[in-house]
Amino acid sequence: MTSRPETEQETAQSAVCAIEEKTEAKAGATRKVFVRTYGCQMNVYDSERMTDVLAPEGYQATDDLEDADLVILNTCHIREKAAEKVYSELGRIRKVKEQRAKSGKDMMVGVAGCVAQAEGEEISRRAPIVDLVVGPQSYHQLPSLLNRARQGAKVVETEFDIDAKFDHLSERAERPVQKRAPAAFLTVQEGCDKFCTFCVVPYTRGAEVSRPVAQIVTEAERMASSGVREVTLLGQNVNAYHGQGPDGATWGLGRLLRRLSEIDGLDRLRYTTSHPRDMDDDLIEAHRDLKSLMPYLHLPVQSGSDKILKSMNRRHTRDDYFRLIDRIRGAVPDIALSGDFIVGFPGETDRDFEDTMDLIRRVGYGSAFSFKYSQRPGTPGATMDDQVPEAVKSARLAELQALVSEQQKAFNASRLGMHCDVLLEKKGRNAGQLVGKSPWLQPVQLDAPENLVGTIQAVEIVQIGSNSLFGRLIEGQDETDFSGAIPAPAAQAG
């Protein structure tokens, strides 16, 4: 199971949004750290926590690679040729490091994340400029690892010490922070016990481990006090969450969401990514009952063929999935569903692919992520017979994406004329424009004053773009507890 929703291409960004929190940096010892993040939201969260860890050591974030004293590539191993892309990037960084050396400036280079976990010593061997390699469960040790690297050691730390990592996150969550962006990620669970035959996550992130409820609540309260209005709970199998509650009992995700909904100022909750086998009645009822739990669900099925689902070791059938969708829509009729689809898995015939297309037609998605199957070394799928030719995979992917795009456009068009609440998150590209998110996770663009960033406003959807909605503020409102969506009066009359 992959951590999602994940972009089809790798994302690269500098983790700068969390640096406003760094009030404890050592005076007179300021250094710059550049973090490039690839892949899923959990990597974005991890990158922000890396800057947290490094702040007391005097590091401030920069989005200028050439200005960095420390460069960290936080990598993802899900996509094809992920490791080769990292080595290619390291080649570019080597040139920057050499240029800095000519002017007497040092640069340390680290590789973190899932490629670091999978490649380990190979990265140090192939890329001598790398000073340290750190897996996703060990980044809380960055200060001590950097000290070892400065003393000349080639550091490779890929132990699965996830409990220590969560303990460190809990300690950080108790410290005061300054203002943050309106929407944030919060990891509640890591690892995977499902062992889908196409997936490397169990090997790079380890077994399923859930954080205690108290740790999560403390971090969420800290976020809310710093201006966060929406939190997305993250996990490789987030709905398999089974953390220890303050009462000593094991809590599921539904109960955790109910507790988080009580936090003052935390107005919106989301979570990703889910496995169909872990979608229990309590979680579905939370969708029905909680005003703050947004009507959006990412629920990957991967294939619509029972034969392929069995080969993937998904341990559910297409009919299981249909019945689950019926239960979810019975609780939240207007929910936006998202999914993941892999085309061209070994042994997939034209009939198997048609079963997937039939499932998509029957379910109807608001959005979806789709990929050609790629062999991941060390996974069972990589050695299976009947690998599908690349040209066949490409043709099937194009056909599937055309169907999903048609459904997405139809879902977006169904929002036209609606009034809905929008969390305004940032300035848009154009002067006087703000961008936010609808309850269904669609980007919404509208003209509004900048002082409304961070507020939730009632908006009428007046135009539909290919990927975004366009709206106008409904006049005469205060910052309100307006929630959900209703047809606009004109739409009712028409």
Tokens read off for 471? 């709206």
Q: Alpha helices, DSSP H only, in 364-459?
A: 390-413
List, in order, residues 6 or more apart from 493 with CB less than 8 Å away. Answer: none
Does the pLDDT at position 291 exceed 50?
A: yes
Q: Mean pLDDT, to the nearest integer, of 295-300?
A: 97
Cα distance between residue 30 and residue 54, in whole Å: 11
Condensed to tens digits (0 to 9), the pLDDT of residues 149-159 reads 888 888 888 77
Report cis status (omega within 30 of 0) of the bond before 273.
Answer: yes
Instruction: Compare 15 and 104 and report the one with higher pLDDT.
Output: 104
Residue 486: pLDDT above 50?
no
Which residues does residue 473 pair with via DSSP β-bridges, in sequence order? 459
Residue 405 in this model has a pLDDT that exceeds 70:
yes
Question: Does the pLDDT value for residue 387 go beyond 90?
Answer: yes
pLDDT of res. 168: 59
Secondary structure class of 45 (helix, strand, coil): helix
- Rounded distance, CA 422 to CA 184, Å? 16
DSSP symbol at 224: H
pLDDT band at 482 (very low <50, low <70, confident <90, very high): very low
Q: From edge to edge, which strands make up the β-sheet containing 132-134?
A: 59-61, 31-37, 70-75, 108-113, 132-134, 155-157
- Domain layout of the chain by residue ranges: 17-159, 164-413, 418-493
Q: Residue 281's closest CA among 328, 335, 337?
A: 328
Token pair, residue 188, equals 């509640």
Structure tokens at 29: 């010892």
Give pLDDT tens digits for 111-125.
988 777 777 778 888
Band of the pLDDT at 191, cuts 50, 70, 90? confident
Does the annotation list 17 as a binding residue?
A: no
Query: 124-128, 190-194, 369-373 — which one is most confidently predicted on average?
Result: 369-373
**336: nearest Cα among 377, 364, 375:** 364
Class of domain 418-493: mainly beta
Percent of the chain with pLDDT over 90: 61
| pLDDT at residue 24, as a whole number | 39
Assign domain 17-159 to a CATH class.
alpha beta
Which fold would CATH assign to domain 164-413?
pyruvate-formate lyase- activating enzyme (3.80.30)
129-160 burial string, b = 16+ CB within 10 Å, else e?
bbbbbbbbbbbbbbeebbeebeeeeebbbbeb
Angle at which helices 350-363 and 318-331 cross, to 10°: 10
Q: What was the pLDDT predicted at 171?
A: 56
Q: In angstroms, rounded to a whole number, what is the distance separating the alpha carbons of residues 173 and 181?
A: 16
pTM assigned to the model:
0.75
* pLDDT confidence tier of residue 166, bands split at 50, 70 and 90: low
Of residues 460, 470, 466, the one with CA closest to residue 429 = 470
Query: Is 40 annotated as contributing to ligand binding?
Result: yes
- Same CATH fold assignment for domains 17-159 and 418-493: no
Two tokens, residue 176:
């005061």
192 annotated ligand binder: yes
Residue 76 in marked binding region: yes
148: which 2 tokens? 């070892």
What single DSSP character describes residue 58? T
Residue 494's pLDDT band, with cuts at 50, 70 and 90, is very low
pLDDT band at 170 (very low <50, low <70, confident <90, very high): low
Q: Contact at 8 Å (CB) between 415 and 440?
A: yes
Distance separating alpha carbons of residues 215 and 34, to the nearest angstrom: 28
Q: What distance in Å separates the CA atoms of residue 97 and residue 85, rounded to the nearest whole number? A: 18
> What is the predicted pLDDT for the residue at 141?
83
DSSP bridge pairs for 433 = 447
User: pLDDT confidence of 319, banded at 50, 70, 90?
Assistant: very high
Give residue for tokens 């080969």.
311
What radius of gyration, in Å, describes the C-alpha atoms of the chain? 23
